[in-house]
Amino acid sequence: MIEFWLNDQHIRTSSPAGLPLLDFIRYDQGQTGTKIGCREGDCGACLVLEGRLQHGALHYHSIVSCLTPLVNIHGRHIVTIEGLGTVAPTPVQSALVDHAAIQCGFCTPGIAMALTALCLSGETLTAERALAALDGNLCRCTGYQSLKRATGELFSKLPAAPADRPIPWLIEHGFLPAFFSKMAERLAAISPFAPEKASAPVLVAGGTDLFVQRPDALLHTVAAPFRNAPEWSGIRIDGDRCTIGAEVTATEILRHPGLRDRFPNLEAYGHLIASTPIRNMGTLGGNLANASPIADWAIFFLALDSTLVLHGPGGWRELPLSRFFLDYKKLDLRPGERIAALRVDLPDADMRFHFEKVCKRRHLDIASVNSALSLRLLNGRIAQARLSAGGVGPTPLFLEATSRFLEGKTPDAEALKQAQAIAQGEIRPISDIRGSATYKRLLLRQLMAAHFLEINL
């Protein structure tokens, strides 16, 4: 039995665990304000809020309901457009009306939910972050300028610091209805999910790729949400060593203060990885296990000599991430084994790191080619190098020969030129919808140059 709260309503349902939340909201509950758009997580028409208890505190963020299996929202609070403005329009809704940011109205509910998530954001707000709240929403009517004006007005009314806009403040000022004040204790009363004993547990993490590829096949096969054991959950930093649980989302990685300290450009890298609601859902373990040749986190962590912690019927084992990808969509995973966590040594004062990607669109798109480079510099020379690249072979690649060549060299134009030539011999790009093989070879050369420029600033 799946149990959660939908707006101010307590839900207990035996609907299929793999049923998309979007379909449950519309067809079972009759709340049609949440729209069916792309069913791929791109348009934002199906956006809702998800609230969850973490360490006794209630946190909200936006998710796309079209890619969320029902089982994943057990024990959580889901808010649709019907749950806002129950007495009067909220400041979010009023701003959209006042700035003529509504035309056909199809995308409007998702936009209102995205901006409400901004109000609930656990980050310090800036004008740039306010606009970024809409990076997961498409609108074909308004031209976006009216949406920018509405967002600007909303931003001007919100305290910048999250501590100054807690849920009671948002309720008092009309951003949220009063029932939000009861949700923490309501969610605490829900027991953990118990999968059907008769079925073998088929686990799903964020679902952001699986439910694009085969939603019908997953409808009756998903049996349980992926939940790590407590010792392998969250993000832990001990000195220079970091352990990241497989179910940690992209948003959690990008917002972690310890990781931001070690990766000063981490927020900028995050803008290259999906959209806000997809980052709120997509997990590190899912991105690695999906085995895409252009998996962003795979490329990021391959350049950092990371190690996977795996668990299965045979017990625990550790495996270098560079040995995890065997061939296209083939992994070194034994039967019944799964990713528990990733371990990585964080950059110190002697290390430089840069991640970059090129897409058909600058943001919110799958890479044509992505790449990362870490260099340890001592006395002006490269003591250690690790270069990774995606989109130029059947798997995410660690370019071992190129990395080995760079060690001992001065990071100058001549070293770059020779390294680019060696890298061309290590890659095997193919022509596809993301570009020709020749184009991808050129992109990797350019990204390697971008690494050197960034690292030498």
> Does residue 236 carry a pLDDT above 80?
yes
pLDDT in tens, 63-103: 999 999 999 999 999 999 999 988 899 999 999 999 999 98
Q: What 3-state class would DSSP assign to 392?
A: coil
Q: For residue 107, what pLDDT is reported?
A: 94
What is the pTM for the complete model shown?
0.94
d(CA 338, CA 90): 44
Mean pLDDT of the chain: 93
* Amino acid identity for residue 285 in this structure: G
* Amino acid identity for residue 174 in this structure: G
- For each of the domains in the chain, give its residue range(s) and CATH number, in order of start: 1-191+200-227 (3.10.20.30), 230-457 (3.30.465.10)
Decide if 438 contacts 430 (C-beta within 8 A). Answer: no
Residue range 372-399: mean pLDDT, rounded? 96
> Does residue 175 carry a pLDDT above 70?
yes
Beta bridge partners of residue 385, listed in sequence order:
375
d(CA 263, CA 257): 10
Lookup result for tokens 């352990």: 243
- Band of pLDDT at residue 200, cut at 50, 70 and 90: low
CB-CB neighbours of 390 under 10 Å: 27
Side-chain half-sphere of 119: how many Cα atoms within 13 Å? 26
Token pair belonging to 104: 């056909």
- Band of pLDDT at residue 21, cut at 50, 70 and 90: very high
- Band of pLDDT at residue 145, cut at 50, 70 and 90: very high
Q: What 3-state class would DSSP assign to 413?
A: helix
Decide if 357 contacts 349 (C-beta within 8 A). Answer: no
Q: H or E stretch including 259? A: helix 257-262
> Does residue 250 carry a pLDDT above 90?
yes
234 vs 457, residue with greater confidence: 234
> Does residue 209 carry a pLDDT above 60?
yes
d(CA 185, CA 233): 23
Q: For residue 363, what pLDDT is reported?
A: 64
13-52 b/e (C-beta count within 10 Å ≥ 16 → b): bebbbbbbbbbbbbeebebebbbbbebebbbbbbbbbbbe
**Which residues 6+ apart lie within 8 Å of 176 measured at CB?**
84, 90, 116, 119, 120, 167, 170
Token pair belonging to 216: 């019908």
Residue range 372-380: mean pLDDT, rounded? 94
Token pair belonging to 116: 């409400």
Exposed/middle/buried for 385, CB within 10 Å: 0-12, 13-18, 19+? Answer: buried
Decide if 208 contacts 218 (C-beta within 8 A). Answer: no
pLDDT in tens, 261-313: 999 999 999 989 999 999 999 999 999 999 999 999 999 999 999 999 999 99
Lookup result for tokens 């799958």: 366
Q: DSSP secondary structure string, 315-375?
A: EEEEEEGGGTEEETTEES--TT-EEEEEEEEPP-TTEEEEEEEEESSSSSS-EEEEEEEEE
Residue range 176-193: mean pLDDT, rounded? 95
Exposed/middle/buried for 120, CB within 10 Å: 0-12, 13-18, 19+? Answer: buried
